[in-house]
Amino acid sequence: MSKKLLLEKAHVEGIRYFDVYRREGGYRSVEKALKEMSPEAIVEEVKKSGLRGRGGAGFPAGMKWSFIAKPEGVPRHLVCNADESEPGTFKDRYLMEFIPHLLIEGLIVSSFALGSNDTYIYIRGEYAWIVNILEQAINEAKNNGFLGKNILGTGFDCNIHVQRGAGAYICGEETALIESLEGKRGNPRIKPPFPAVKGVWDRPTVVNNVETLAAVVPIINMGGDEYAKIGVGRSTGTKLISACGNINKPGVYEIDMTISVEEFIYSDEYCGGIANGKKLKACIPGGSSVPILPANLLLKTAKGETRYMNYESLADGGFATGSMMGSGGFIVLDEDQCVVRHTLSLARFYRHESCGQCSPCREGTGWMEKILKNIEYGKGKMSDIDLLWDIQRKIEGNTICPLGDAAAWPVAAAIRHFRDEFEWHVLNPEESQKRNYGLAHYADPIHVPVG
């Protein structure tokens, strides 16, 4: 049983309520941080912990905090990004639903560290019932003196506001989230200026993921150095992985980033193997935006080493033979799944969610979807595959926000690793409507060049 920091108490009866949460040792970090530590010391502690942003990009959280501008007389804000809409990712929902006070506790400590007196939780509109849970938790914390004016008699004021989004994936991008929070159309802003300088209402703002902010609690409780000892290398602490797809036990798992991908999929403690005794074909290890990997490259890197569930190991080999940790949405595909169809549904998602602000993403995502639709339904041409490759190449890196990249990467990786499945669809238009390509050679051991 690996160490759990976030979800250790998540299933204690009544942990959703303040009394039980407090009895189980909750809000200790608030007392410690506000009474014994300075804001700078908290930032330093988070830096020491090596905590990396859990929203997808994996940017060190302590670094991000230290970038925040501190002009005289201008209020600063902390915004919690709970707009979790990446297909395959549902870890934040789980955390907020079962142990909401952990997030509130992390928010209070982080607000103190950043000097934010008005902190916002921007939550996706579809999580309607969680808004109630969070608001109840906020009210309980306020009634017990952990929020509001003069918290614990330290003179620090903090209020947390919950703001619902209207169900747009793009509002999970931090600048689009800020625009939406301000009441505008959720179009990403052009950076620079970064939110750390000009964010909500042009005030310095830090936007962090739910899990990142929750992880601040154990960091303060145990100390940054102690936290950094968990995990491996630059992947410190624990990570929530939301596993789904063709596995026996889908769900949210907290891992300490030292286990191998193979163990995560096949051990009974986690996913419990592929459902119905099928074989593993492919997997998206970090939410829909990150490159898909075939079974052989997922379990072992191109150099033949075991692949582990951490930032570095999953990214080993770059995009040519690796993927990304992303937001931890672990989607497993078994041998009965069609990669072309799978890529089509992702392309459809990104076309639908593109904000339409910059041209490569607005036009390119729709084009890719139409071509993929043709290929999937037996009307594709061989040249379409090269065309898809060219389109994704021209979207990637040329857009305002990372949605363009997120739309391009899954298509690129699917063609890179599963090109023969696309070609089979083109060459056998009728057969491809009746059966799937199957496992083919995707689980065969890869040839490792000597040296």
Partner 1 sequence: MSEQQLFKVTIDNITIEVPAGTTILNAARKIGGDVAPPAMCYYSKLEGSGGKCRTCLVEVSKGSEKDPRPMPKLVASCRTTVMDGMEVKNITSEKVIDARAGVVEFLLLNHPLDCPICDQAGECHLQDLSYEHGKEGTRYEFQRRTFKKHDLGPYIQLHMTRCILCYRCVFTADQLTKKREHGVLDRGDHAEIATFIEKSLDNDFIGNVIDVCPVGALTDKTFRFKNRVWFLKPVDAHRDCPTCSGKVTLWNRGDEVFRVTARKDEWGEVENTEDGKPGWICNTCRFEKKKTSDWVIEGPRMINRHSVISQGHYAGKIGMHKPTETFEAVNDGRKPQLLMDIHSVSEVNKPEVQLSLIDGPAHSQVFNQNKD
Closest separation in Å from C-beta 379 to partner 1: 10
Q: 416: which 2 tokens? A: 């890179």
How many Å apart are CA 286 and CA 235, to the nearest integer?
Answer: 15
Closer CB to partner 1, 35 or 393, in the complex: 393
Q: Is residue 370 at the binding interface for partner 1, with CB under 8 A as the rule?
A: yes
Q: How far is the CB of 192 from partner 1 (least distance, A)?
A: 8
The full 3-state SS of 271-296, as one line of letters, equals CCCEHHHCCEEEEECCCCCCCCEEHH
Q: How many CB atoms lie within 10 A of CB 448?
A: 12
Is residue 4 at the binding interface for partner 1, with CB under 8 A as the rule?
A: no
383 CB neighbour count, 10 Å cutoff: 10
367 binds partner 1 (CB under 8 A): yes
Report the 10 Å Cβ neighbour count for 446.
Answer: 17
Please report whether residue 357 would count as binding partner 1 according to CB under 8 A: yes
**Residues 91 and 83 sit within 8 Å (Cβ to Cβ):** no
For 131, how many CA atoms within 13 A lie in the half-sphere containing its CB?
15
The piece of 89-97, 108-116, 253-261, 354-362 that touches partner 1 (CB under 8 A) is 354-362
- Tell me the closest approach of the beta carbon of residue 165 to partner 1, in angstroms: 13
- Give the up-direction half-sphere exposure of residue 244: CA atoms within 13 A in the CB hemisphere: 12
Q: What DSSP assignment string belongs to 154-182? A: SS--BEEEEEE--S-GGGGSHHHHHHHHT
For partner 1, the closer CB: 122 or 270: 122
Report the residue number, 362 or 416, with the smaller CB distance to partner 1. 362
In the numeric block, the tokens 């979807």 are attached to 369
Which two structure tokens, joined as six digits, stand for 16?
């959703």
Site for partner 1 in 169-208 (CB under 8 A): 170, 185, 190
Choose between 257 and 344: whose C-beta lies nearer to partner 1: 344
Residue 353 touching partner 1 (CB under 8 A): yes
In the complex, the smallest distance separating the C-beta of residue 159 from partner 1, rounded to whole angstroms, is: 29
Determine, following the binding rule CB under 8 A, whether residue 85 of this chain makes contact with partner 1.
no
Bridge-based pairing of strands 76-82 and 205-209 is parallel
Scan residues 393-412 and list those touching partner 1 (CB under 8 A).
393-394, 397-400
Question: What's the closest the beta carbon of residue 187 comes to partner 1, in angstroms?
Answer: 8
Examine residue 50 and tell whether it contacts partner 1 (CB under 8 A): no
Residue that is written with structure tokens 């798992």 in the block: 253
Q: Is 166 in the site for partner 1 (CB under 8 A)?
A: no
Q: Which of 140, 365, 414, 432 binds partner 1 (CB under 8 A)?
A: 365
Q: State yes or no: residue 333 binds partner 1 (CB under 8 A).
A: no
Structure letter (DSSP) for residue 308:
B
CB of 229 to partner 1, least distance (A): 33
Integer CA distances (angstroms), 255 to 180, 242, 442, in order: 33, 11, 27
Q: What three-state secondary structure class fits 117?
A: strand
Q: Give the helix/strand (H/E) hosting 217.
A: helix 210-222
Which residue in 359, 382, 431, 441 binds partner 1 (CB under 8 A)? 359
Counting contacts by CB under 8 A, is residue 348 touching partner 1?
no
Residue 37 CA to residue 314 CA, distance in Å, equals 36
Q: Are 259 and 3 in contact (CB under 8 A)?
A: no
Torsion of CA 402, 289, 48, 206, to 10 degrees: 40
352 vs 419, which CB is nearer to partner 1?
352
Cβ distance to partner 1 smaller for residue 127 or 349: 349
DSSP letter at 96 equals: H
Position among 125, 148, 272, 366 found at the interface with partner 1 (CB under 8 A): 366
CA angle 61/62/68 to nearest 5° reads: 95
> Minimal distance in Å, beta carbon 315 to partner 1?
16
The nearest distance, CB 202 to partner 1, in angstroms, is 12
Q: Return the number of the residue (229 or 352) whose C-beta is nearest partner 1.
A: 352
Among 60, 363, 423, 428, binds partner 1 (CB under 8 A): 363
Question: By CB under 8 A, how many residues form the interface with partner 1?
Answer: 28
- Interface with partner 1 (CB under 8 A), residue from 124, 351, 417, 425: 351
Count how many residues are written for the chain. Answer: 451
Residues that bind partner 1 (CB under 8 A): 168, 170, 185, 190, 351-360, 362-367, 370, 387, 393-394, 397-400
